[in-house]
Amino acid sequence: MQRLLPLAAFLGGVVWDVLTIGQRVRTMDFWRLGAFLLGAALLAVWLAHRQARELTAPPAEKGWRGHLVRFRWQAPYLLLQFFFGGIFSALFILYFKSSGHLGTWLMASFLGILLVANEFAGKHLGQRFTLIWALFALNAILLFNFALPHAIGSLDPLWFYVSTGSGVVLTHGLWRLAPGKPGMIFPAWGLAGVLLLAWSLDMIAPVPLVRQDMAIGHDFLQDGGRYALKVESAPAWQFWRDQAPVVHLMPGENLYGVSAVFAPLGVTAALEHRWEVREDGSWRHVYRNRFHSTGGRERGFRGYSWVLNPQPGDWRFIVSTQDGRTIGILPVRVERGTPLPGGMLIREF
| Domain spans in the chain, listed from the N-terminal domain onward | 4-200, 210-348
Residue 31: partners with Cβ closer than 8 Å, 6 or more residues away: none
Per DSSP, the three-state class of 246 is strand
- What confidence tier does 315 reach under pLDDT thresholds 50, 70, 90? very high
How buried is 273 (Cβ within 10 angstroms: 0-12 exposed, 13-18 middle, 19+ buried)? buried
pLDDT at 13: 64
Q: Quick one: average pLDDT of 76-103? A: 82
Contact between residue 232 and residue 217 where contact means Cβ atoms under 8 Å apart: yes
Considering only residues 258 and 298, tell me which one the structure prediction assigns the higher pLDDT.
258
C-alpha radius of gyration, the chain, whole number: 24
pLDDT at 7 over 60: no
User: What is the rounded distance in angstroms from the CA atom of residue 330 to the CA atom of residue 311?
Assistant: 17
| Predicted local distance difference test score (pLDDT) of residue 265 | 78
Condensed to tens digits (0 to 9), the pLDDT of residues 169-210 reads 999 999 999 998 988 999 999 999 999 999 999 888 888 888
When pLDDT is cut at 50, 70 and 90, the band that residue 131 belongs to is: confident
Does 260 have pLDDT greater than 90?
Answer: yes
| Residue 124 pLDDT level (bands cut at 50, 70, 90) | low
Distance separating alpha carbons of residues 244 and 232, to the nearest angstrom = 6
Burial 78-117 (b: 16+ CB within 10 A, else e): eebbbbbbbbbbbbbbbbbbbbbbebbeebbebbbebbee
Q: Which of 127, 129, 52, 116 is nearest to 84 (CA)?
A: 116
pLDDT over 90 (residue 310): yes
Mean pLDDT of 133-154: 88
According to the model, what pLDDT value does residue 5 have?
58
The pLDDT score that the predictor gives to residue 3 is 59
237 has a pLDDT exceeding 60: yes
Q: What is the pLDDT of residues 273-282, one digit of tens each?
A: 999 999 998 9
Task: Return the number of other C-beta atoms located less than 10 Å from residue 183's C-beta.
Answer: 20
Beta-carbon contacts of 298 under 8 Å, excluding residues fewer than 6 positions away, are: 23, 24, 262
Cβ contact 53:178 at 8 Å: no
In angstroms, the Cα distances linking 320 to 140, 256, 267, 283, 335 are 26, 17, 15, 16, 26
pLDDT reported for residue 155: 83
d(CA 232, CA 82): 46
Q: What is the 3-state secondary structure (H, E, C) of 270-313?
A: EEEEEEEEEECCEEEEEEEEEEEEECCCCCCEEEEEEECCCCCE
Residue 67 CA to residue 166 CA, distance in Å, equals: 41
CATH of domain 210-348: 2.60.40.1930
What is the per-residue pLDDT for 11?
A: 62
Q: What is the pLDDT of residues 109-121, one digit of tens each?
A: 887 777 777 666 6
Phi, psi of 129, rounded to the nearest 5 degrees: -70, -25
Q: 11-27, pLDDT tens digit by residue?
A: 666 666 666 665 556 67
Q: What is the pLDDT of residue 28?
A: 76
Q: How confident is the model at residue 249 (pLDDT cuts 50, 70, 90)?
A: very high
Whole-number Å distance between alpha carbons of 192 and 199: 11
So what's the pLDDT on residue 304?
95
What is residue 218's predicted lDDT score, i.e. its pLDDT? 93
Average confidence score pLDDT of the chain: 84
The per-residue pLDDT for 248 is: 95
